[in-house]
Amino acid sequence: MKYKEFVGKFVSSLNLVKRDLVLLFTGPIEYIYTFTISNSVKVKIEPHNNSTEKVGFYIINKLKSLKTKIYLKQIGSTVLKIPGNNDVDFIAYPYDGNLHNIIPNITKIFGSPKKVKKEFVQWEFKIKEVECALLLAKRGCRLYKRISEDQMLLQSNQNNVHKYVKMKLASDGVSLREYERRKIYFFYQLRK
């Protein structure tokens, strides 16, 4: 191995260690959670696809038909119309604050939730070959707040969107775990 190549790889490794230490000390729960994410599945960043928007509208219409009213917000690359995983993501909270009364109704539409916690419930499902995710949370839930704040950082500043696209494109082909860490670090940098 040539000296310059060695130094380049060494510096790159140091930067990853630095990033991971920052993540560990500034958001230990989020960082430790990344270890539960696959390190073998690779991320494929693709151009924005209008078909994902149609799936998003379908989900919105299905959720509007529920008797229990919820606040629903579409998030992620699809709503920003930028390159991404061509998936559809939503966050929501019930206006009455009762998560567990609405779970059966959403389960009838999208199937069993992937996670059921005290503060939130998460569904992952496919519609027309499009990966979809719905996070139903208590309004004060820390996870809900973080995701909502991250989306606002993007929607309120076009320069942030350009930086986000650059990070996403540079992440094409990395593991799902690494991609999640890059996103967490990206939003940490924006908040600084």
What are the tens digits of pLDDT across the range 153-188? 999 999 999 999 999 999 999 999 999 999 999 999
Q: What contacts 19, CB < 8 A, 6 or more positions away?
A: 181, 185
Q: Is residue 166 part of a domain?
A: no
For CA atoms 180, 131, 53, 65, give the dihedral sign. negative
DSSP 8-state symbol, 175 = B
Q: Is residue 157 part of a domain?
A: no
Q: Would residue 45 be called left, alpha or beta, if left means φ above 0 and alpha means ψ between -120 and 50 degrees?
A: beta
Domain coverage including residue 67: 46-140
Q: Is residue 90 part of a domain?
A: yes
pLDDT (0 to 100) of residue 1 = 64
Q: Are 66 and 34 in contact (CB under 8 A)?
A: no
Give me the residue label for tokens 């924006």. Answer: 190
Q: How far is CA 62 from CA 27, 106, 117, 190, in A?
A: 35, 9, 23, 34
Per-residue pLDDT tens digits for 53-110: 999 999 999 998 887 789 999 999 999 999 999 999 999 999 888 888 899 999 999 9
Q: Is residue 35 part of a domain?
A: no
Q: Does residue 14 carry a pLDDT above 90?
A: no
What's the domain count of the chain?
1
Reduce the DSSP state of residue 46 to 3 states and report it.
Answer: strand
Q: Is residue 122 part of a domain?
A: yes
* CATH number reported for the structural domain that contains residue 86 in this entry: 3.30.460.10
Q: Is residue 146 part of a domain?
A: no
Q: Is residue 26 part of a domain?
A: no
